[in-house]
Structure 1
């Protein structure tokens, strides 16, 4: 039995654990956060490839049961007058679910079959002829046959194995934030823009969503107070309902702020260590992250099983199959689209949503990108 350590318990990590335990691997999942992060932004699946993998996992019906519905969102001016409507099928794909709900579902399905360690993190990885010696912040050292970094765009495993984050992660000039706030602020999904800034509300149970242009910021990603202060400065003086929304932000303990960034790396594995999901091919708010995570987990686990645990063969085949598909994460920057830098760009973006022809073309393109891989039956 091969012994595998997975770093990260969001989507990619538990999806990989699902398949590896099914194939007879012994799996440990380690997560820096003390618990699963509930709620969060909605993630979506597009096209038959994504749905096929969810079906083969046996969770498609559960995801449909938990889906959020992908409601239309109205773009408004400072007076609340409607300017355009973003269709739910554009933002929500074929199937939309809150990230926290999907993570909880995957955890429930995998926890009986593998070990989860929360509130801990890897501090070193030392490869030997017989495995990878791993040290942790809190847990005693262990040796694993393989280590998989499924720990997001700021991957600790990638840093320890390949080098500093600055070598592989490109800041795209924007930040985004999700904040759980009390109040419905109009009761329906709405978005308001000023040049370089966007604020959106999604109704009574949805978090407030922010996107703003900024040079790289220095802050503690685990300090909600620092993140609230950065948001307050970024949105000072903004019109519409922003002052009321920011007042609710000040009262919230649930704040998530991060850069809009892109991972550029020329290989997904080194020795006995491989990268999965955003750690290897992340593009923040690019619209394909959840699909890439579950399809990537399916391919990586399937190739490890097919190669009978020979990681040299499996990692090479994972790279060969998946890199052309993951190219969809190499292009595009959601920042200027969600928070256009000028009023002219704002009008152009809004006009696009009014054109049924352009919308149909964009939906066809995203569906093509999402299905641009032939998945094996392992």
Structure 2
């Protein structure tokens, strides 16, 4: 890929990690990001499964990622009185359970890949792609601010509401999974230490996870709902939605919600999936949530972003200049596993916010069983097998050839 001009839209996780691998193969990479700077913080994300861990190992960034992780010893379900009713610890279910070895703030993970690439990759902040025109000499790209440029390949890594996907395929209906999620940084008034506590009432959940060396928590909420229209950028309106939907909940919900106005990193969105008949057209493709969001309910969003970026870069390099063929090969190799992850996510909402008291009791019973009876791990076997199912291709020869 020596000298291949690649434009990536989005500097969250999939974008910088794709830039990392493409730069290794000799590509000239530009990343454009609408935010004015690299976004720090964000919700906690998990890296689970052999393939994702192997991607980090092959990158040489595994130690840097682990150094940036948020210590997480375990999770408890609590009652309205705050008493812990069932718990699970990190490392249970082979490290692929509710709490995994690598739990890290989204911004911290993207920062590791940004730091590893910023000397070799051009990052353009505060801009976005507005038009794509594929011509024989490349894909001509118009930007909101910068002058038009041509690239050999363009990749959308710009998330659930991808602008590149819209330019490529037009409006695409998301599959709504019946739930909305929100996250924000709040005071650790319970003094949680490397721990998460979760409280649920029918159809809604609140929780807190200790972060920043236990000096704060990541507060989070979930509620079940049919799809409704909203502007994901209108944070004041969405804070009002969260207050209304979670009003009157027990435990610590009232104190959590009272701090919403002070939250500077508030995030809200639907638990939705992207289901596309193809992930590319010509020399323009998609990766991560832009192509195949499985929703946070799958527990694999970061995993499939990291693995997807690695496979996409490798297949583009292997295609030896036939970029459209490389994009098709990436999809052919990855899609079967991605579809399994998406199916798992479709049925996992009941674990986040059970719709009935009976569902809440059943979730508690399952967690107690895992805690008290190690043989009951069979209840999580499907998720563990899913996390480890993808066999990661080896593109090391391509790297050696480039050197």
Match 1:306 to one of 307, 318, 321: 318
Kindly state the Cα deviation for residue 239 of structure 1 after the two structures are TM-superposed.
1.5
Match 2:171 to one of 164, 168, 173: 164
Secondary structure of 2:190 counterpart: coil
Paired with 1:330 and 1:46, the residues of 2 have a C-alpha distance of 15
Kindly state the Cα deviation for residue 358 of structure 1 after the two structures are TM-superposed.
7.2
Contact 1:43–1:97 (CA under 8 A) maintained in structure 2:
yes
Which residue of the partner structure matches residue 232 of structure 2?
A: 221
Cα root mean square deviation, aligned: 1.7
Secondary structure of 2:251 counterpart: coil
Match 1:26 to one of 25, 28, 41: 28
Kindly state the Cα deviation for residue 186 of structure 1 after the two structures are TM-superposed.
4.8
Match 1:330 to one of 342, 356, 361: 342
Which residue of the partner structure matches residue 288 of structure 1?
A: 300
- 1:370 and 2:370 aligned: no
Which residue of the partner structure matches residue 152 of structure 2?
A: 145
Paired with 1:18 and 1:345, the residues of 2 have a C-alpha distance of 43
Secondary structure of 1:303 counterpart: helix
Which residue of the partner structure matches residue 212 of structure 1?
A: 223
Paired with 1:359 and 1:140, the residues of 2 have a C-alpha distance of 59
Kindly state the Cα deviation for residue 47 of structure 1 after the two structures are TM-superposed.
2.9
Change (3 A) 1:358 1:127: farther
Aligned residues, how many? 376
Which residue of the partner structure matches residue 83 of structure 1?
A: 85
Residue deviations 1:3-41, cap 9 Å, x none?
111011011111110011111111110111122221222
Kindly state the Cα deviation for residue 362 of structure 1 after the two structures are TM-superposed.
4.6
Contact 2:50–2:388 (CA under 8 A) maintained in structure 1:
yes
Which residue of the partner structure matches residue 9 of structure 2?
A: 7
Which residue of the partner structure matches residue 128 of structure 1?
A: 135
Secondary structure of 1:253 counterpart: coil
Kindly state the Cα deviation for residue 216 of structure 1 after the two structures are TM-superposed.
2.3
Paired with 2:17 and 2:236, the residues of 1 have a C-alpha distance of 32
Which residue of the partner structure matches residue 180 of structure 1?
A: 185
Residue deviations 1:167-187, cap 9 Å, x none?
xx1111110000112343353
Which residue of the partner structure matches residue 111 of structure 1?
A: 118
Kindly state the Cα deviation for residue 74 of structure 1 after the two structures are TM-superposed.
1.4
Contact 2:43–2:184 (CA under 8 A) maintained in structure 1:
no
Residue deviations 1:228-268, cap 9 Å, x none?
11111111111111111111112222210000001111211
Contact 2:197–2:209 (CA under 8 A) maintained in structure 1:
yes
Kindly state the Cα deviation for residue 328 of structure 1 after the two structures are TM-superposed.
3.0
Kindly state the Cα deviation for residue 212 of structure 1 after the two structures are TM-superposed.
0.7
Match 2:107 to one of 100, 112, 116: 100
Contact 1:281–1:329 (CA under 8 A) maintained in structure 2:
no
Contact 1:282–1:329 (CA under 8 A) maintained in structure 2:
no
- 1:242 and 2:253 aligned: yes
Contact 1:39–1:101 (CA under 8 A) maintained in structure 2:
yes
Task: Structure 1: state its 5+ residue gaps.
Answer: none
Which residue of the partner structure matches residue 317 of structure 1?
A: 329
Residue deviations 1:163-222, cap 9 Å, x none?
2032xx111111000011234335352111111110001234231011111222333322
Change (3 A) 1:32 1:68: same
Kindly state the Cα deviation for residue 336 of structure 1 after the two structures are TM-superposed.
2.5
Paired with 1:103 and 1:31, the residues of 2 have a C-alpha distance of 13
Paired with 2:204 and 2:324, the residues of 1 have a C-alpha distance of 46
Secondary structure of 2:186 counterpart: coil
Q: Give the 5 Å matches for 1:342-361.
A: 342-356=356-370, 360-361=377-378
Contact 1:193–1:199 (CA under 8 A) maintained in structure 2:
yes
After the TM superposition, which of the residue ranges 76-85 and 104-113 deviates more from structure 2?
76-85
Change (3 A) 1:186 1:234: farther
Paired with 1:254 and 1:122, the residues of 2 have a C-alpha distance of 25
Q: Give the 5 Å matches for 1:181-196.
A: 181-187=186-192, 188-196=195-203
Which residue of the partner structure matches residue 285 of structure 2?
A: 274
Change (3 A) 1:358 1:134: farther
Q: Scaled by the length of structure 1, what TM-score is found? A: 0.94
Q: Scaled by the length of structure 2, what TM-score is found? A: 0.89
Which residue of the partner structure matches residue 231 of structure 1?
A: 242
Task: Structure 2: state its 5+ residue gaps.
Answer: 92-96, 396-403
Change (3 A) 1:191 1:31: same
